[in-house]
Amino acid sequence: MTRLLVTGVAGSLARLTALALQRDGHDVAGVDYRRRPKDHPDALPYTQANYNKTRIEDVVRRFRPETLLHLGRVGNLKLAVGKRFDLNVVGSGKLFELAQKYDVARVVVLSTFHIYGAHPANHVPIAEDEPLRSGADFPELSDAVQLDNLASQWAYRYARPETVVLRPTNVIGPDIKNAISTYLRQRTVARVLGFDPMWQFIHQTDVVEAIRLAATTPKLIGVYNIAANGTLPFSRALEECGARAWPIPGPLATQLLRTMGRFGPALPPYLVDFCRYPVIINDARFRAETGFVPKVGVLEALRSTVSTVDRRD
């Protein structure tokens, strides 16, 4: 049995991971900067604490985790830029320092493939040593790039804690409420006119399994892409989800999506280029070193994501 502390546990993916690890017999506690959700399970301990404040040290000192799962990257673009920076960059730095101070054996950081950026010069597929292009074009992702860089530096600079950085492709599923899952659930969606790139998706249960393997596989250190099997055109993904596509000319897409986002769910502007250029990642290293085998196919993952949505007119 291992003691694991999971950040971001107010979110669906972190909570699913924590509960899966509990079922495996581990001692698991959760922490999040947000208030405890009303539907949070009583069996999973929960503490509200900002990652860059004094209270987070109290949590680590009292619980003394052997493994820290930092799944709490803040992707909510409605939060002020300074708030996201404090949580994602300053707060993550504090967590790494606490992990070293209190002799945590392993830290797993959930990053994102979005930091590669969508660019016509990207290789297909993208390996972990590719340049991170997104921060230069979209300041909304600069804190995510800085968090990933910080975690990667810790992975290769310090022997303890062992640090693993995961960069999953588009995470979707019935319990996921991120930007792409919310977008796929809309009755009518915007897409860029004249482009239909290939996309990857990975189901929530496969991401939970990948995190579990990252936490438990001996001597695993470094940066790893995470993907499922198969790719498909963006238009086919929308078709499988039953969404009606509204083509927008490229020059107008970013500004129109910014405007739409003020009034309801819309594709974040930083994802517009992902609707133009393929961003296909290669996760062969992670599979080879952990034995990871995704179990949910891309079509099944898409259908499950919209399974509770009523598409009737």
* Residues 41-50, mean pLDDT to the nearest whole number: 95
* Residues 79-107, mean pLDDT to the nearest whole number: 86
**How big, in percent rounded to 5, are the helix, strand and coil portions of the chain?**
40, 20, 40
Decide: residue 157, CB within 10 A, 0-12 exposed, 13-18 middle, 19+ buried: exposed
Q: Is the pLDDT of residue 214 over 60?
A: yes
pLDDT digits (tens, 9 = 90+) for 256-269: 665 655 545 567 77
User: Which range is least confidently modeled, 28-32, 135-139, 217-221, 276-280?
Assistant: 135-139
Spatial separation of the C-alpha atoms in residues 98 and 93, rounded to whole Å: 9
Annotate 75-94 with b (16+ C-beta within 10 A) or e (fewer). Answer: beeeeeeeebbbbbbbbbbb
pLDDT at position 75: 67
Closest to 186 in 3D by CA, of 259, 252, 238: 238
Domain spans of the chain, in order of start: 3-172+201-230+281-295
pLDDT at position 189: 84
Spatial separation of the C-alpha atoms in residues 238 and 285, rounded to whole Å: 30
* Residues 39-67, mean pLDDT to the nearest whole number: 95
| φ, ψ dihedrals at 107, nearest 5° | -125, 130
User: Which range is least confidently modeled, 73-77, 90-94, 185-189, 246-250?
Assistant: 73-77
Handedness of CA 6, 8, 10, 13 (dihedral sign): negative
Of the two residues 209 and 253, the one the predictor is more confident about is 209
pLDDT digits (tens, 9 = 90+) for 64-89: 999 999 998 876 656 666 677 787 78
User: Which range is least confidently modeled, 32-36, 142-146, 163-167?
Assistant: 142-146
Closest to 12 in 3D by CA, of 172, 184, 252, 232: 172
Distances (CA, A) of 202 to 116, 206, 263, 273: 17, 7, 28, 20
- Label residue 42 by pLDDT band (50, 70, 90): very high
Closest to 21 in 3D by CA, of 277, 211, 230: 211
pLDDT at position 263: 44
Q: Is the pLDDT of residue 244 over 90?
A: no
* Residues 283-300, mean pLDDT to the nearest whole number: 97
CATH superfamily, with its number, for domain 3-172+201-230+281-295: NAD(P)-binding Rossmann-like Domain (3.40.50.720)
Q: How many CB atoms lie within 10 A of CB 267?
A: 23
User: Which range is least confidently modeled, 160-169, 213-222, 253-262?
Assistant: 253-262
Whole-model pTM: value is 0.93
pLDDT at position 281: 98
